[in-house]
Every structure is written in structure tokens, then in C-alpha cells.
Amino acid sequence: MSILLTGGTGFIGSHTAVELLQSNQDVVIVDDLSNSAASVVDRIEAITGKRPVFYQADVADKAAMKKVFSENSIDAVIHFAGFKAVGESVRIPIAYYRNNLDTTLTLLETMKEFGCHRFIFSSSATVYGTSDKVPFTEDAKELGCTNPYGWTKFMIEQILKDAALADPELSVVLLRYFNPIGAHESGMIGEKPNGIPNNLMPYITQVAAGIRDHLSVFGDDYPTHDGTGVRDYIHVVDLAKGHVAAYNYSTSHTGCEIFNLGTGIGYSVLDIVHAFEEANHLKIPYEIAPRRAGDIATCYASTEKASRVLGWKAEKSLEDMCRDSWNWQCGKWAK
């Protein structure tokens, strides 16, 4: 039996492929390579000694997905594939809704046809919207999202909840990620943003590498300990291990369950800058800039449910995250 990872050559998908292969699972990856490279499959093999089965295909292509399901015995799907740039989603919302919803619907239909009943979804803390009741618990009242990317996550969660209600055999696990950073300690896989990075850590590593001259810190007048925004940064390897725990959980579960994957600790933008400088012995020039539209002051997870039900907890420190992010940026694969 194999686990299908859509978007399995992307940042989080590739790290999850490594963790699953290292826990002796068979992995099939479907990715259209629109935001990743085929060589990631070789690198996953170099790290684990095992080669995942790979198909270059669009997950919304029904015929391609039927081929994948007919050529492999898929017992669970982890759905990472999707458009994920917040700013871009504001500019081209229809493309975001079309792609992110279509891929999910195609997968659900194909799974039903082939009798596959386990679906794990890459959701996001973005579905907590502008709520200010930290830490965020999975049962928090949903207040809506601030951008189309977030709404696609919100809508897909709803589709999957409805699918689980209608099909007593279906097991759905919704994983709400906080802020994944870091990279595999081998330096062979990591996050490679397209163009100017939107997210904090890739921006910092590009400043450190001399690709950008300084970091703009978006706002220093938030009600936080130093005025800059507070987030729950989680090492991508811990996050990947959370998927292995969710997969194991789904073997004995039906219905729909939601889990936060975060550390439960909030760090400010300046905490991250200083931790990065200390871990890597370099300086990050920064300037205070206006707030970024849609940002909230503070966001961190309640980790109680994931720890209690999945038996999973993030283990890596902020220093590990800063060191591994920089190690990846310095290697040849980030170029």
C-alpha cells in the first residue's frame, strides 16, 4: 500500500516524503512541477535511500489521476498541491479558486472510484482569520479569512467536512499549519520561493546571502512585547513528522478531525532576526516599514489536541530553524 502525496516535491511535501519513507511507508508523488523541480525526487532518494514513485501531472487532470490510482495501490492521500501566494491570490483570485478547489474535488472523486478512504489536508492557521483569542484552539469560531488564498483553505475544509459527513467510511484529517520554516539538516531540500519572497524567513536568508539589501519589518506598533508581529514558527521537519502521526491516526479513525501543527510559542519579527543573527554569526540589516495589509498582531497555536490525540509535539528549537534555513540557503539547491 502506498501514500499519495500531491505536491510532494514542494517544500512541505518533500520533507513529509522523507519522513514517511524513513518510517517504512511507500510513497507516490504527483506534482506538476509548477513551483518545484524534478530533481527533488533524486534528492529525496539521496536522503532516504528509497525512491518515491513520481508522476508529473496536474492533480485536477482526472485522467492522469485515474492512471495514478490504477497503477498503484493508494490507501491514503496527503494533499499538499495548491497555489499558496497570498498577494498573488488577491490579484488572480479566480485562478486560486479554480486550482485549489478543482484539485481537491478531482481527488475526492477519484478516491471514491478506487475505494480510497483516507484524506489528510494541508490547511493553514489562516482560517482563524482576524481572531485575537490566542492561543488558537481547533474549535475556535471561524471569523472568515483576509484573502482568497485563505478562503480556498477555508472552503476546502468545508468540502471535506461535508464529504466526511456523507460517507461513513471516510477519514478526513485537517492539519492547520502555523509558520513553517527551516529545512532538512542535509541541506538538500528546503523552501525555494519564486521571485521576491513574501514570507519572513526566506526574505531574511536572502538578505543574509546578499540577494536583498535589507529586511523591511512590517510595523513596530503592534500590541506585542517589542511592537512587531508575533507568530508560531515551526521547523518543517517537525511539521513533516506531524503528518506521519496524522497518517497513523487515520488508520483507526473515521469522520473529520482538525489539528493545529505549531509549537505553541510566539516569536516576534525582531526575535527571529536576532535569533538568526546569533545562530549564524552574521548581521541582518533591517528597517521599520508600515504594517502589511491583512496582518494580525499575534498568532500562535494551542498544541494540546495534537499532543493528546496524535501523540505529536514539535521538538526543534528556534536555533535549529535558523541554522537549517541558512544551511539550505548556502547550499547549491537553493540557487
List residues with catalytic annotation: 149
What are the φ/ψ torsions at residue 324 (nearest 5 degrees)? -70, -35
CB of 203 to ligand UD1, least distance (A): 4
Q: Is 217 in the site for ligand UD1 (CB under 6 A)?
A: yes
With H, G, I as helix, E, B as strand and everything else as coil, classify residue 292.
Answer: coil
From 56-64, 131-139, 212-220, 321-329, give the range in contact with ligand UD1 by CB under 6 A. 212-220
User: Under the criterion CB under 6 A, does residue 183 sit at the interface with ligand UD1?
Assistant: no
- Least distance CB 184 / ligand UD1 (angstroms): 18
* Binder of ligand UD1 out of 229, 242, 262, 264 (CB under 6 A): 229
Q: Which of 8, 150, 187, 264 binds ligand UD1 (CB under 6 A)?
A: 150
- For 271, the grid coordinates are 526575535
Q: How many residues bind ligand UD1 (CB under 6 A)?
A: 20
Give residues 80-139 in contact with ligand UD1 (rule: CB under 6 A): 86, 124, 126
Name the minimum Å distance from CB 73 to ligand UD1. Answer: 33
Q: How far apart are CA 98 and CA 95, in angstroms?
A: 5
The pattern of x and - marking residues 296 through 315 that bind ligand UD1 according to CB under 6 A reads --------------------
Chain-centre distance for alpha carbon 143: 21
The whole-angstrom separation of Cα 230 and Cα 84 is 21
Q: Which stretch binds ligand UD1 (CB under 6 A): 13-21, 32-40, 101-109, 198-206?
A: 198-206
Chosen residue from 2, 22, 131, 216 binding ligand UD1 by CB under 6 A: 216
Q: Three-class SS of residue 219?
A: coil
Give the angle 97-100-102 at the CA atoms, nearest 5°.
90
Strands 179-181 and 233-235: parallel
Sheet holding 255-261, edge to edge: 53-56, 26-31, 2-6, 74-79, 118-124, 171-177, 255-261
Integer Cα distance of 323 and 331 in angstroms:
12
User: Could you say which residues in the range 276-295 bind ligand UD1, by CB under 6 A?
Assistant: 292, 294-295
Binding-site ranges for ligand UD1 (CB under 6 A): 86, 124, 126, 149-150, 179, 198-200, 203, 215-218, 229, 231, 269, 292, 294-295
